[in-house]
Chain A
């Protein structure tokens, strides 16, 4: 073999060297400490089913980030724990920042736990990304400079769902009956729903608060049947929605059904035979675009079932923060806040339009969807038991149109 340097080899080597030179800083950074993500979400209790999907989502995100060279060249390490309740969530967040030295925390579903974690995060000057807490006050009176919300807020769900019914002619002059979970989540939704009905001419003919441990809805169903409303709207959470679906069908009620807070896991648990109505949804596995379907494919391969909307939330929060660390060049709280608030921070969310965090309250401004149950006989399998709407707001409308809060106070950082 002769060592003959041609012009071509020089060029080739030079190009390779150049590429290496450019890549070097990232390569060197990769030698540094790994990026540590703390993940806290309830995996037991009535939010446990969602928490399980949240963990699947963040695990997949970390896998994908690391396979693509890490965040800003740093490999990502994930520490996951069950947040249990607001007090435990706070203690565990403290321990994650103090002992595990995590760079930021992602997760949660309970708004009350979001609040306690965000307070700890602020004390340490680190970021917390909320992926499941809906409460308006987290974006209002209780907002926090270090807290960002990938999950959409209650008002936006109410406005989206309300507009859907309005377009069907089911609001103005129509009678509504609501059942609301008797804790902050249900009360918030109820207030937002009342504001919407007031503004649009809807009449609230019945409005029951349901204790959080209620499993039987027969007494409520008898009342609803007597009231003969045009729309029955639920502000319930978790297994209560599923119980309601099962018993609504059992008692043969057929009033238009909908609600303001929803997770597809409730639909799947009810099954095609029982799932009814139209519900707002931050994302679902039937959203037809390449990025969504690639995610559904990857998730199904990893876990043997399609992703729930909560899995979408934690997966995307992971990717968003990896992008932020890469762009900011570090994972310190203030640097990340500065980037996430900047106009350059646009995120591909597997939706038609990119999303961004609104600087005034850190809400991720994005498209959402409404899902509608298929008639029982038309479902092809246990997962595809509904159809999804086009993105809301529609393509020709401003993205922030529905993201206006009517409850929850004003945010000032």
Chain B
């Protein structure tokens, strides 16, 4: 019984990685431009549908590389044409904008592909299970987690160890100073939106073999991703990671002890408690212009 419990804890820890890619992107877009991108889940759905279209041509691994790039491109276009008009005004407007955008994308997918879920198969090479003693895990999920960790690590290096990252981080704290140093933030904003939305596209491909692909799949995942961001603290890299793990763990443990019907409620309860004790989230930074 103890073995099973440990297995559940481990599984819960890993479960968090699925929201991580989405939640990190959400957090990134918010911290730089102050936009709460409710359409983030819709880009995740676009990623999944693109995977269906591209896989027959390039295979799964080709799609894994191409789809995030295409979705990142879409993200940059969206940033240039839509987000850029909303950086300096009340976040409520961008909330409305991205909420509408999410609906347009969802309905667009329904229009093009139909409401019926699409089938998508796992590549044969990643099928099967791995055993660690008594703990069984799916080979595909190990791959999924590895890719997610790589992507997150890459993002960390980009933000913390490069000149690009330094300017982005400076832009988060004080765009005016960055401007007065003669650096235009605009191209950086586009690239960051591209990366953040591309990560959602990557998550779309990664989750297609194990989740149902249907037009509303974005709406399904965005709420939880948003909760992760709020618990972790908007704009906080490590906060979001810790929160994703906490959320996965909470769900896993509650299912393990037979309280599965509480597993969703508990996450919101967790958010409630965190907000009560730390209104900025676990590791939420103080971002001057949002105070």
- What are the residues of chain B within 8 A of A309 when measuring CB–CB? none
Inter-chain contact B212/A223, CB cutoff 8 Å: no
A48 touching B141, Cβ below 8 Å: no
A223 to B115, CA, bound (A): 32
* Bitwise interface map of B from 104 to 143 toward A, beta carbon under 8 Å scored 1, else 0: 0000001000111111111000011100000010101100
Interface residues on B, range: 35 or more
Which one, B21-29, B178-186, B257-265, is touching chain A?
A: B257-265
Number of interface residues of A (CB under 8 A): 43
Chain A contacts with B in 366-382, Cβ cutoff 8 A: 382
Total residue contacts A-B, CB cutoff 8 A: 128
Most A CB atoms within 10 A — which of B11, B118, B212?
A: B212
Confirm or deny: B251 has a beta carbon within 8 angstroms of a beta carbon on chain A.
yes
B177 in contact (CB, < 8 A): no
Bound-complex Cα distance A220 to B118 (A): 24
Partner of B212, one of A44, A226, A239, A273: A239
Q: Determine if B61 is an interface residue (Cβ-Cβ < 8 Å).
A: no
A413 within 8 A of B: no
Is A43 in contact with B115, judged by CB distance below 8 angstroms?
Answer: yes
B134: min CB distance to chain A, Å: 9
Within 8 A of B (CB), among A209-237: 209-211, 213-216, 218-220, 222-223, 225-226
Q: Which residues of A contact B (CB under 8 A)?
A: 43-46, 48-49, 51-53, 182, 208-211, 213-216, 218-220, 222-223, 225-226, 239, 242-243, 246-247, 250-252, 265-266, 268-271, 273-274, 308, 382
A48 x B255 contact (CB < 8 A):
no
* Distance in angstroms between the alpha carbons of A208 and B209 in the assembled complex: 24
Q: Are A219 and B12 also in contact (CB < 8 A) when A44-B216, A211-B263 are?
A: yes
For A218, list chain B residues within 8 Å (CB).
11, 15, 138, 141, 252
Q: Is B43 an interface residue (CB 8 A)?
A: no
B116 touches A246 (CB 8 A): no
Partner of B255, one of A51, A52, A223, A251: A223
Give every chain A residue within 8 A of B261 (Cβ-Cβ): 182, 209-211
- Cβ–Cβ < 8 Å partners of A223 in chain B: 4, 8, 255-256
Q: Is the CB of A269 within 8 A of B11?
A: no
B220 in the interface (beta carbon within 8 A):
yes
Contact of B7 among A48, A211, A222, A270 (CB under 8 A): A222
